[in-house]
Structure 1
């Protein structure tokens, strides 16, 4: 019941308040550290770059573990307060909705600006349909990365699991690119994120099944472009019946998405979030998973 209390309080914080200030946000710290190590390491050779990237990832993951165990050594109520704060920092339900909803606008330049804040691709030449697609894709992918996966690892390993996942996912977002600078320096972070997301990405697809099971499974079989990230995108495309496409990388069939489809995607998002919250709360309450106490 202690773990359930921490989970419910963290959930209330997220829904009512949103993200902590950047200055004291652990995930921002992880990103700043990754940026620091990236900046000071001059690229040398594939082997040395891979070693440096691996050590960077291990250092930041170790920091996340250290943070996660601090509450266990604090007196009541400080242990609960810090555990709630750290768990809330590992997932982002409200802020994801807020970021994506800004793309619902009839002003193409405002839409372009909003989408540029939530995707890494170049949006300067995208037409309106592909901007709408990018917003929905980001929502679908981050439903896994920012909600399903961190709470999945919280179920398995308690607060350390949630924070380690969030650190690994942040490292991948910052370093896991296939280009000259990050091909070797970012390889370990990218593969670590692939490993940690393998089960959650498919679990996310399962959560879509109550909406349109046969169609979701059909689109899931089409998702052969990436190891994990295209799976939740395929499921969202199936449920909405719209084309979701990152040119040159993947394309799921359907009509071109419009503003209203972003709204529909957000409604589907909240239904799946509610579904997952209920499942997590029930599993914690029944003691099915060996969550660590705060």
Structure 2
């Protein structure tokens, strides 16, 4: 199959149709499979929990790999249709914009509810500036997780790379918490996701450079709080000139984020997405990556 054709079909699906129905969404399947095993494993101690969590992750990753290889065994045009569908399920350009745009409201109650849908932190006690910050942070972090990283691994390893990344990211979102229940069971998932995001998170910062120049590099040097997730957030903070803060975890300097800054962040989002899609398209057309010629 021609990977450029698959990419174009997947991108058209995303722009025109958005997310696939929940019932047939591969990412939902990854989550349900991980949740099914997690719910049936009684915690037994550090080593057994780590081994069980690692096995859970490997089962989900193996399932993702099998799904990604299915198009190879189908005739034309079913192979292209399934490959495009699976690739589209690994990234989410349109839906990310839609979810974040819902937080642009003067109604604090509606804003709090909308923000709670896109962040894992508790939003009940957050004031308006911190709700605005949380929305922008989510946009910046998910720009990496939901757009840049899956297509980065698509460039390197074609469809299996994109789908395996999405499975790993889903595992981290479900199991990668540092609490008593998941400290050991989710450790492999968390560390594997850290490994996969190391390069894409820094690539994301480079994509912000044309928009913020040296200021982006300065904020990048301030991002020493997390391994990966704070890097794209630092870059967004630099370009917007507003402070972004997760209390007790990180804070980047700037003026107080207003409602209008979420709208500005969405415009920046589309500029960075456009940069990345152009780069991906050029690499696919030229066949620079060896794996794309297979």
- TM-score norm. by structure 2 comes to 0.99
Q: Give the superposition deviation at 1:212.
A: 1.2
Partner residue, 1:122 = 122
Where do residues 177-192 of structure 1 align in structure 2 (5 Å cutoff)? 177-192=177-192
Partner residue, 2:134 = 134
Partner residue, 1:260 = 260
Q: Give the superposition deviation at 1:293.
A: 7.2
Q: Is the 8 A contact 2:242 2:254 kept in 1?
A: yes
Superimposed CA distance per residue, residues 63-107 of structure 1 (whole angstroms, 9 cap, x where no aligned partner): 000000000010000000000000000000000000000000000
Where do residues 27-38 of structure 1 align in structure 2 (5 Å cutoff)? 27-38=27-38
Q: Is the 8 A contact 2:284 2:292 kept in 1?
A: no
Q: Is the 8 A contact 1:169 1:193 kept in 2?
A: yes
Q: Give the superposition deviation at 1:291.
A: 3.7
Partner residue, 1:290 = 290
The yes-or-no answer on 1:68 pairing with 2:68 is: yes
Q: Is the 8 A contact 2:108 2:128 kept in 1?
A: yes
Which 5+ residue runs of structure 2 have no aligned equivalent? none
Q: Is the 8 A contact 2:287 2:293 kept in 1?
A: no
Instruction: Give the match's secondary structure for 1:119.
Output: coil
Partner residue, 2:22 = 22
Q: Which structure is richer in relative contact order (CA contacts within 8 A, separation 6 or more)?
A: 1
Superimposed CA distance per residue, residues 163-187 of structure 1 (whole angstroms, 9 cap, x where no aligned partner): 0000000000000000000000000
Partner residue, 2:156 = 156
Superimposed CA distance per residue, residues 228-271 of structure 1 (whole angstroms, 9 cap, x where no aligned partner): 00000000000000010000000000111111000000000000
Which 5+ residue runs of structure 1 have no aligned equivalent? none
Q: Give the superposition deviation at 1:292.
A: 4.9
Q: Distance in 2 between matches of 1:252 and 1:213?
A: 17
Instruction: Give the match's secondary structure for 1:245.
Output: strand
Partner residue, 1:4 = 4
Partner residue, 1:216 = 216
Q: Aligned residue pairs: how many?
A: 294
- TM-score norm. by structure 1 comes to 0.99
Q: Distance in 1 between matches of 2:182 and 2:242?
A: 33
Q: Is the 8 A contact 1:158 1:293 kept in 2?
A: no
Q: Distance in 2 between matches of 1:62 and 1:290?
A: 24
Q: Distance in 1 between matches of 2:290 and 2:146?
A: 22
Q: Distance in 2 between matches of 1:38 and 1:202?
A: 32
